Structure 1
Amino acid sequence: MKECAFTRRKPQSLLNCTMATSAPTSPTPLSNQRSFGFGDRIGLAGPGHLRALQASGFAPILAQQSVRELDRLGRTAADVMDAAKRAIAREGYTGPWGGDADHLKTVEAAQQYAQAGFTFFTIDPSDHLGAPDRVQSLPEAYADLYLGQSWETASGQYSFDEAGLKEVVSKFEGVLDHCEMMAKGIAAACAGRGFEIEVSVDEAPATTSPLDHLFVALELKRRGVSFASLAPRFVGSFQKGIDYRGDLKTFESDLQQHVDIARQVGPYKLSIHSGSDKFSIYPIIGRLCGEWLHVKTSGTSYLEALRVLCVEEKALFRELLTVAFEHFEQDRHSYELSVTDDDLAQLRQEADNPTEATFLDGVAGRQVLHVTYGSLLSNDKLSSGQTRREAVLAALERHDDLHQQYVERHLKKHLQLLESER
C-alpha cells in the first residue's frame, strides 16, 4: 500500500494560511487511482482530512461541493478550491489531489467550476429520467444494437429481450442525451487541460439493476462519452449521515454484479454516493471494488464540526438546534431520511441539555443536523449579533485542535474499514 506524501508544516489559522511553494497548486484527474471525496461544507476540515489520509492508499478529492450545497451555503466554486489549497499548504501535502464539481445539471454550472480549476465533473441527469413505459414502440436503432446480443461478465451473462430493452430505453434515453450534451460542454470548458467525468444515476427513484447499468454504460461508450466513474443506485438504503440499511449478503451480491459489468465494459470506477458512515458495508466495498473505486462523503465532516460545538460551545449549539428544528421540514425535502414526528418530539425534549449521544451519534439527531446545514450556516443573526456562519467559524477557530482531531478520527475510520479486507 502506498502512503501519501506529506511535509508537515507549522500549524496556522486556516483562515489566514497562504499557499506553500512546494504544494501542488492545482488538482489533477485521478481516473486510474482509487479515490475518496472529502466534502467540506464549512471549509475548515481539510487538515483533518489530510491527516486521516496518511498511510492510506486512496487519492484524495479535497475540493468537493455540489451545486445544491453551494446554493444553500452561499459559497462559490472558487471558495471551495481556495479552502482545499489552504489545507494543503498548512499540512504540507505534496501528493496528487482532485476537485469534484458535484451533481452538475447544467453546462453553465460546469463552466463556473472549470473556471475555478476543478478537474472532476459529476453529471447528474436525474431530471431527465423517463417513466419505464414512456416508449410504446422500440426504435429500430436500439433493436439492431441490442436484441439478439449477449454480454458475458464474471458473474453471469446478460441479454435484453424486447420488453426489457424498451424499459431501459424509456428510462434512460433522456439521461443519455443529457450526459452527451453535458460531456461536450465540459470538454469545451476544460479545453487544453485534463479532466474526468462521472455519471451519476444514484438519485433515480428505483434501484439500478445490472441491465440498467449495462445499457447506460454501453450507450455512453457508443456515444463517445468518456467517463471515469459511474454511480448506480445500489440495493438497500443509503441515507445521509448513518450506516447502510439493508441485507449485507444481498448488497454484496448486487455490488459484485455491478463491479463485473464495470470491469467488462470499462474498466471504470464504481462511485459510492451518500458514502459517509456506511461502516457495515465498507469492507465489502473495498474488497470487491479494489482499485476501481470512488467514495463520496460530505455531511459527515460537517457533523464532526457540530460535535465540537456540542462539547465546547453549549450555548451556541443550543441556539443552532432551535434553528434546525425550525427549518427541518423545509430542508428535508430533497433527502431520504428516517426521522419521524416522534423522533423530533424526543429531540426537542433533550435540546436544553444536548449530548453527543443524542445529537451526533443517534440516527435522528444526525439526520436533523445533516440536512439543515444551509440554515445553520446562513447569514441570519444570532442573539449575539453575529451571523450563524460567523459564530460557527469563530468557534471552530477557537477549538481548531479538537476540530481537526475529530475529523481525522472519524474519516480515518472510513478509510481503514474500506481497506480492511484488501
Structure 2
Amino acid sequence: MNELIKQLPRFSIGVGDRFAHQAKSQLAACVQAKSAGIEVVPVWNKSNREHNIIGSDPAQTRKAADAAVKELGWTAPFYLDADHINLTTVERFLAPCDFFTLDVAEMIGKPADPADVKAFVSRHPELVGTVTIPGITEPFHTDEAFVTSIANKFLAAVQDAGRIYRFLVERKGEGNFVPEVSMDETDSPQTPVELLIILAAIADEKIPIQTIAPKFTGRFNKGVDYVGDVPQFAREFREDIAAIAFAVQKYGLPANLKLSVHSGSDKFSIYKSIHDAVTSSGAGVHLKTAGTTWLEEIIGLAEAGGAGLEIAKEVYREAYGHREELCAPYATVIDIDPAKLPTPEAVDGWTSEQFVSALRHDQSNPAYNASLRQLLHVGFKVAAKMGDRYLKALEANEESVARNVTTNLFDRHIRPVFLG
C-alpha cells in the first residue's frame, strides 16, 4: 500500500466534546501524560447525530481543538474524527476533519454478490484449511463453507467502506486523513480468524486502515463499566492483536494498524488487560471515549453549587421526564433500571455532594448510581435545548468543570490504559 502521509501514533485517545467547551481541559490530560513520559495523542470525535442534536457543526469542533492546541503549545499530532460517517453524511466533515470512522454497520450481515464472494474465496486459499497465526497457540481449522459464510456476512460492508474511502481520497487526497473501519455493531464477537478474513477483504479494497474496531465479548454500555467476562476479553484482545500483526505482514496493511475500543470510556475493569496486552506485544491502541466529558461538565456544575447545581438538577429533571425519547436511540448500549432512578423531587433536595456522589464514576462510593449516570449520559439533548444558558453556566464555572474533565481523562482513563 502507498506510504501514508498522516500516521496515527501508537497511542491515541478519542475525546468527545459535546458543546465545544472542553478541548483545552481534555488536551491538558494529554499534556499530563507527556509529562509522565508517554505520548497519547487526542482525536476529537463527534458524530453527525450529535451535531444534529446540539445544532453544531464540525467546523466548531475544529476551531475549539485548534485553539486548545495553540494555547497549550501542543506540538505532537492531533486529529479530528468524522465519527460514524457514510456517503450521505460526510460532506460537512470533509474540510475540518482528518480522521474518518467509516460507518458500515447497516451493511453488516447483508449478503454480498455471490460472484464477489466466490472471487474472494478463490483469491485467498490461505484462509481455507489450517490457519496458523503467530502468537496464538492453537491453529484454526476452516473450510471453504466457513470462509464463504464470513465473507457473506462482512464483504458487502467492507465494499461499502471501500466506496466511502475512495470518495474521501477523491475529495481530500490520498494520505491526507486517517481511515478507521468499525465492525463492532454486529451480533457476536469475531474470532481471530474471522478478523483475519475481514482484514483480507479490507486489503483487497485497498483501504489503508490505521485502526479497526472489532466486536468484543461483553457489554460496552455508555459511560459505565464493562459488563462481561474480563479474562475472556483479555484473551480476545491479545488474539486480535496477533491477528492484526499477521494481517499486516500477509496483506501489506499499514504497519501502525491497531485496535480501536469503541465506547471505551469508563470501562475500568478491562483497562489493565488492555495495558498488559499492548505492553507485552508492543502494539498500539485507540481508546474511544466521548460522553464521559459531558458527564464531567455536569459534575463540575453540581460541584460548584449555586446556579451550577441548579442547572445540573434541571438537566436531570428534564431527562427523567423525557427518558423514553432520550434512551430510544441508545437502547442497545444502555441498561437503566427505572426503579433505581431517584425522582426529580428527591434530586431537587440534594446537596452538591449528594449529586456528585451519585453521578461520578466511583464504584467504591455507595451513593454511585449507574442508572442515573446512563440517563444523564444520553441527556445531553436537554442541555442543548437550554442553549446559551447552559454554555454560560459552563463558562461561569470553568475552573470546577475543567478540573473534573482533566482529572477524569488522565487519572481514570489515560493512566490505567497507557501508563499502567
Answer whether TM exceeds 0.5 for this pair: yes
Aligned residue-pair number: 381
* Larger displacement relative to structure 2 (208-217 or 398-407): 208-217
* Distance across 2 between alignment mates of 1:137 and 1:98: 39
Residues 172-211 of structure 1: pairs in structure 2 closer than 5 A: 172-191=154-173, 194-211=176-193
* Distance across 1 between alignment mates of 2:402 and 2:408: 10
Q: Which runs of 4+ in 1 moved over 4 A?
A: 133-139
* Larger displacement relative to structure 2 (412-421 or 151-160): 151-160
Residues 121-136 of structure 1: pairs in structure 2 closer than 5 A: 121-130=100-109
- Runs (5+) with no aligned partner, structure 2: 249-254, 362-368
Out of 402, 406, 409, which is 2:407 matched to?
409
2:70 aligned partner: 89
* Distance across 1 between alignment mates of 2:359 and 2:271: 24
1:241 aligned partner: 223
1:140 aligned partner: 118
Pair 1:364 & 2:371 matched = yes
**2:155–2:201: 8 Å Cα contact kept in structure 1?**
no
* Distance across 1 between alignment mates of 2:230 and 2:119: 39
After superposition, the Cα gap between the structure-2 partners of 1:309 and 1:105, relative to the gap in structure 1 and judged at 3 Å, is: same
* Larger displacement relative to structure 2 (34-43 or 295-304): 34-43
After superposition, the Cα gap between the structure-2 partners of 1:159 and 1:138, relative to the gap in structure 1 and judged at 3 Å, is: farther
1:119 aligned partner: 98
* Distance across 2 between alignment mates of 1:410 and 1:349: 29
Out of 21, 43, 49, which is 2:20 matched to?
43
**By how many angstroms is 1:105 displaced?**
2.0
1:328 aligned partner: 323
* Distance across 2 between alignment mates of 1:398 and 1:214: 51
* Distance across 1 between alignment mates of 2:316 and 2:26: 26
Pair 1:262 & 2:240 matched = no
Amino acid at match of 2:383: L
Amino acid at match of 2:6: P
1:19 aligned partner: none
The structure that is helix-richer by fraction is: 2
1:391 aligned partner: 389
Residues 151-230 of structure 1: pairs in structure 2 closer than 5 A: 151-155=132-136, 156-191=138-173, 194-230=176-212
Amino acid at match of 1:416: R
2:45 aligned partner: 64
* Distance across 2 between alignment mates of 1:157 and 1:245: 29
**By how many angstroms is 1:164 displaced?**
2.0
* Distance across 1 between alignment mates of 2:211 and 2:92: 22
Q: Deviations over 1:264-283 (max 9, x none)?
A: 11241100110111112112
2:293 aligned partner: 301
Pair 1:341 & 2:344 matched = no
Q: Deviations over 1:116-144 (max 9, x none)?
A: 2x11110010011116x899999432332
* Distance across 1 between alignment mates of 2:418 and 2:276: 8
**By how many angstroms is 1:394 displaced?**
0.7
* Larger displacement relative to structure 2 (38-47 or 163-172): 163-172
* Larger displacement relative to structure 2 (44-53 or 298-307): 44-53
2:268 match: secondary structure: coil
- Runs (5+) with no aligned partner, structure 1: 1-27, 379-387
2:61 aligned partner: 80
TM-score for the superposition, normalised by structure 2: 0.85
**1:46–1:83: 8 Å Cα contact kept in structure 2?**
yes
